[in-house]
Amino acid sequence: MASHTRRRVRAADVAKAAGVSPTAVSFAFNPRETGNISPETKQRILDTAERLGYEPNHVARSLRSQTTHSIGMVTDSVASSPFGGRLLAAAAERAEAAGHIMLVMDLHSRDEREAAAIHELERRQVDALIYASMGFRILSSGPRTYLPVVLANCTAEREDELSVYPDDAYGATRALEHLADLGHRRVTMLSGHWNPLGPRDNQGNISGPLRRDAFLAAARSRGVEATIIEGGWDIDDGYHAAMSALDRPSDQRPTGLFAVTDRSAVGAMLAAARLGLDVPGDLSIVGFDDQEKMAENTVPPLTTIALPHARMGEEAVAMALAAVAGETIVDRRRALPCELVVRESTAPPRWSLTAPPR
């Protein structure tokens, strides 16, 4: 094996080569107001450093400055979720832009590991902690630590905890209004139930009821007849729910469907195909999530509500950094809008080309 032993060059080496003291080197790399060095010296040092391939040793710097420029992320399986990784990726990118790095601890759906994970992150002296949940939940309290924490894709009962989460109600409202604007007067929602004991990766996820209630409220205020079918979140759940909603005479059949997830929407498309219903001709479908490689690629492409995963990751890091800097943060709870993405699975109902019903 090749010799990996190329000894790293230290500040002292650069100092000697440039004929200055280690302090000067430090100053060259950490510009400051007062007690500065002359531009020429600085340039000479930087050149020498470059020539020697000098890189400040981050560990030594961290020990001295008591800040590691790193942010810990503990996730209850976000990293392994179908789209939650976007949150992590966006957070990592935002952190990097600020000279920080993300340390990841995935709980892998085993809560008892939480304390240990946080402990480890504390030992590693991370500057702050982001706690990301896979499903949108309300925690009775944030993780116990002396570090600044921001909750991502979840929030806490205590109002002073820092958190970013999706505004599900806003998204569901957008969905109904889109359908209503198109002229639909009878719609049904394939809803995801709230299940405190459900599959671990969806435990206590409250997006379902949030979306349902907002959808219902919006329907009421727009005078649209709305029905709810409670069910699960996956393709098969959507399929079965849609089957029961659609397998009936056309004058009783909804013309618009709002699925609690894109996966459920795909199931609904399958059901429609089985029933010989054209989308969007006979039936409009709106999903939720804007899941990658999914919503965009259904046939026809799915109109849906986008979950702001990337923005949550960015905001979480921004808040964490602000907290570290000791800034006062005004909006400690940030609900990010879930915006409508119009594609081709929605259209005016057929009858609207002739005359509205009733």
Partner DNA sequence: CTGTTAGCGCTTTCAA
Partner DNA sequence: TTGAAAGCGCTAACAG
Residue 331 binds which entry of a copy of itself, DNA, none, CB below 5-8 Å type-dependent: none
- The Cα–Cα gap between 276 and 175 comes to 24
Nearer to a copy of itself, 162 or 176 (CB): 162
Considering the rule CB under 8 A, would residue 207 count as an interface residue with a copy of itself?
no
Q: CB count, 10 Å around CB of 31?
A: 9
Instruction: Answer left, alpha or beta for residue 108, where phi above 0 means left and psi between -120 and 50 means alpha.
Output: left
Residue 27 binds which entry of a copy of itself, DNA, none, CB below 5-8 Å type-dependent: DNA
Could you tell me the sign of the dihedral formed by the alpha carbons of 325, 326, 330, 331, in that order? positive
Considering the rule CB under 8 A, would residue 209 count as an interface residue with a copy of itself?
no
Q: CB count, 10 Å around CB of 114?
A: 16
Considering the rule CB under 8 A, would residue 134 count as an interface residue with a copy of itself?
no
Q: Provide DSSP, 250-288.
A: TTTS-SEEEESSHHHHHHHHHHHHHTT--TTTT-EEE-S
- The Cα–Cα gap between 11 and 24 comes to 9
Considering the rule CB under 7 A, would residue 36 count as an interface residue with DNA?
yes
Site for a copy of itself in 270-309 (CB under 8 A): 270, 273-274, 291-294, 297-299, 301
| Contact region with DNA (CB under 7 A), list: 61-69, 193-201, 312-320, 333-341 | 61-69
Q: Which of 17, 26, 198, 206 binds DNA (CB under 7 A)?
A: 26
Phi, psi of 299 (to 5 degrees): -125, 110
- The Cα–Cα gap between 345 and 277 comes to 12
Q: Which of 31, 35, 196, 356 binds DNA (CB under 7 A)?
A: 35
- The Cα–Cα gap between 249 and 236 comes to 23
Site residues for DNA per CB under 7 A: 8, 10-12, 19-27, 29-30, 32, 35-38, 40-42, 54, 56-57, 60-61, 63-66
Interface contacts to a copy of itself, rule CB under 8 A: 1, 4, 6, 55-60, 62-63, 68, 70, 77-86, 88-90, 92-93, 96, 101-106, 108, 117, 119-120, 122-125, 146-148, 160, 234-237, 239-240, 263, 266-267, 269-270, 273-274, 291-294, 297-299, 301
